[in-house]
Structure formats: structure tokens, C-alpha cells
């Protein structure tokens, strides 16, 4: 069942993004930025955690999940360390993904050449 | 030199606009839904495996994202993610795999412009804005959380 909801929630987020790209002049980069920020705001309002409990990876894998992870990390760091957590929690919580992405970008660029 | 008037330019722009093929909205949406959904199902499968290996459920999202990033980076290297992107549109761009693709693809392509200003800088053409606005928004949200909590 969790797989079904992951598919549905991940699919709906993708459809929303596709609608914006098709119906407005925004590019996919604009929409990616918009969705990360929206995820952060929805997380702050306490809404995104319900989307995560329904969709599982369907909510954490798309970019709004990245915004949610940033805010969750900040909230956790504030509860633990106080005000400084506002500035430390976001990157602490997302460091694994960001570091892996940059390392992989570097390694793949060294090993491969673009096709065509 | 002949210069088209503003009015003519506008008329021409309108003509160009009309010439564009109509966007196949329905099929775009279906493909985005399937692609975005399937990538998340793969993510869910990775997450279930990690949980079976003893990683706590609330700590599984980060490692899952990292594994998806590695897979997507490799698929980008082999040129496969480009095909997924052409098929799935935002269904391929919106998951974290699309974020990874947006880093790896320009890094590969602009390597020829040098390792610092090519590979190093162009890597962040799309990922940079995503990180900037993600951090700015989440910091503002965190600031309000701190104020309201106090």
C-alpha cells in the first residue's frame, strides 16, 4: 500500500510541476526553485509532515521534500542549540545529499563525456 | 538599414507564437505522473530495504535520497537520464534524481571549458538557485519558528 501512495503522491507533485511549465512561461529551473521553497513553507506550517506520512518516499523524494528536510533540520537544531540552529540546521540535515550530488557530479564529469 | 516598427515586431512575434505546435497537455501530464510516480516507487523500495537493514524510519529519507542521486548520476553519465527526461518532463526533473541530473549533466558538458569555470561553476547552473532559494526560505521559516516558540 505504501508503494501505491508513493506513486500517487510523487505523481501528483510531478503533474502540478508539469502544469506550471506547460501553462506559464516559467522554465523547469524556476519550477524546481518554486517547489523547494513551497516545501519549506508547507513544512513550516506543519502541513508537509502529513503529506510525508501519506506518501512516504512520494513526498520526500521530490524537491518539496528537500525544502521539508531543510526546515525539519532547522527546527531540530533550534530545539537543541537555540537561535544558532536557524543557521546550522538546514545544511546539517541535508549535507549527505548535497555532498553526494557534488561528488558524483565531479566523478561522472571526469569519467564520461556527453552523448551526441 | 531597415528597421521593423514596434508594431510589426509584435505582429511577427504573434505569428511565431501561433506557429508553435499546440502543447499536448494531456499526454505531458500523464507521462509526468507516471515518471514522477515510478521514481518515487523506486525511492520507496530503497527506503524499505534500508529500514530492513535497521536504519530508523525517520532517518531513512536522507540515505534514500543519496542512493537515488548516485543512481541518477550514473544514468546521466550513460546518457539514459536524458531519455527519461525527454519522456517524463517535470516527472523526471522534480524528484531528487532530477536535481542530481541538473548537477551532473552540465558538469560533463562544460568540462571542455575548463575544470574550474567550466565543470566547477556550471555544475550549479540549476542546482545553485535551488540551494539558494531552499536555504533562504527555510531560514526565514526557521526564524519564525524560533520567534513563535520563544
Of A78 and B10, more confident: A78
Q: Taking CB atoms and an 8 Å limit, are A44 and B64 in contact across chains?
A: no
- Has residue B1 got a pLDDT over 60? no
For testing contact with chain B, the best of A12, A26, A32 (most B CBs within 10 A)? A32
The three-state secondary structure class of A62 is strand
Q: What angle do CA A95, A69, A64 make, to 5 degrees?
A: 120
What's the CA gap between A116 and B6, in Å, rounded? 40
Poorest-confidence range of A98-102, B4-8, B79-83? B4-8
Task: Write the CB contacts of B100 (distance below 8 Å, at least 6 apart in sequence).
Answer: A101, A104, A105, B68, B69, B72, B73, B76
Per-residue model confidence as pLDDT tens for chain A (116 residues): 899 999 999 999 999 999 999 999 999 999 999 999 999 999 999 999 999 999 999 999 999 999 999 999 999 999 999 999 999 999 999 999 999 999 999 999 999 999 86
- How many Cβ atoms are within 10 Å of B49's Cβ, its own excluded? 13
- Has residue B89 got a pLDDT over 60? yes
Percent of chain B with pLDDT over 70: 89
Distances in Å between the alpha carbon of B22 and those of B1, B99, B113? Answer: 35, 28, 37
Q: Taking CB atoms and an 8 Å limit, are A57 and B64 in contact across chains?
A: yes
pLDDT attached to residue A10: 98
Q: Is the pTM of this model over 0.80?
A: yes
What's the CA gap between B131 and A97, in Å, rounded? 12
- Has residue B128 got a pLDDT over 60? yes
What mean pLDDT is predicted for residues B90-119?
A: 97
Domain boundaries, chain A: 2-111
Residue in B28, B108, B138 closest to A112 by CB: B108
Residue in B32, B109, B146 closest to A83 by CB: B146
pLDDT attached to residue A103: 98
Give residue A42's region: left, alpha or beta (phi > 0; psi -120 to 50).
Answer: alpha
Confidence of residue B12 (pLDDT cuts 50, 70, 90): low
Distances in Å between the alpha carbon of B21 and those of A102, A108, B12, B89? Answer: 37, 36, 16, 17
Task: Write the CB contacts of B57 (distance below 8 Å, at least 6 apart in sequence).
Answer: B51
Closest CA to A41 of B23, B133, B90: B133
DSSP type of residue B23: P
- A3 contacts on B by Cβ (under 8 Å): 41, 44-45
- How many Cβ atoms are within 10 Å of B114's Cβ, its own excluded? 12
Task: Write the CB contacts of B55 (distance below 8 Å, at least 6 apart in sequence).
Answer: B63
What's the CA gap between A62 and B36, in Å, rounded? 8
Amino acid at each position: 500500500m505504501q508503494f501505491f501512495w508513493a506513486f500517487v503522491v510523487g505523481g501528483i507533485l510531478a503533474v502540478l510541476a508539469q502544469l506550471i511549465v506547460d501553462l506559464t512561461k516559467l522554465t523547469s529551473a524556476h519550477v524546481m526553485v518554486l517547489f523547494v521553497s513551497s516545501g519549506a513553507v508547507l513544512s513550516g506550517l506543519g502541513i508537509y509532515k502529513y503529506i510525508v506520512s501519506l506518501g512516504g518516499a512520494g513526498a520526500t523524494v521530490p524537491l518539496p521534500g528537500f525544502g521539508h528536510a531543510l526546515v525539519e533540520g532547522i527546527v531540530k537544531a533550534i530545539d537543541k542549540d537555540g537561535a544558532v540552529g536557524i543557521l546550522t540546521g538546514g545544511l546539517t540535515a541535508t549535507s549527505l545529499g548535497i555532498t553526494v550530488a557534488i561528488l558524483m557530479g565531479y566523478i561522472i564529469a571526469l569519467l564520461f563525456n556527453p552523448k551526441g | 538599414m531597415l528597421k521593423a516598427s514596434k508594431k510589426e515586431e509584435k505582429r511577427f512575434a504573434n505569428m511565431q507564437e501561433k506557429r508553435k505546435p499546440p502543447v499536448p497537455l494531456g499526454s505531458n501530464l500523464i507521462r509526468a505522473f507516471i515518471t514522477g510516480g515510478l521514481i518515487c516507487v523506486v525511492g520507496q523500495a530503497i527506503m524499505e530495504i534500508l529500514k530492513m537493514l535497521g536504519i530508523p524510519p525517520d532517518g531513512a529519507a536522507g540515505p534514500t535520497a543519496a542512493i537515488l542521486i548516485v543512481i541518477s548520476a550514473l544514468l546521466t553519465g550513460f546518457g539514459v537520464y536524458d531519455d527519461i527526461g525527454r519522456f517524463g518532463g517535470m516527472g523526471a526533473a522534480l524528484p531528487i534524481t532530477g536535481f542530481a541530473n541538473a548537477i551532473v549533466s552540465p558538469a560533463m558538458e562544460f568540462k571542455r571549458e575548463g575544470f574550474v569555470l567550466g565543470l566547477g561553476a556550471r555544475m550549479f547552473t540549476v542546482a545553485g538557485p535551488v540551494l539558494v532559494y531552499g536555504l533562504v526560505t527555510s531560514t526565514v521559516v526557521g526564524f519564525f519558528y524560533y520567534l513563535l516558540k520563544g
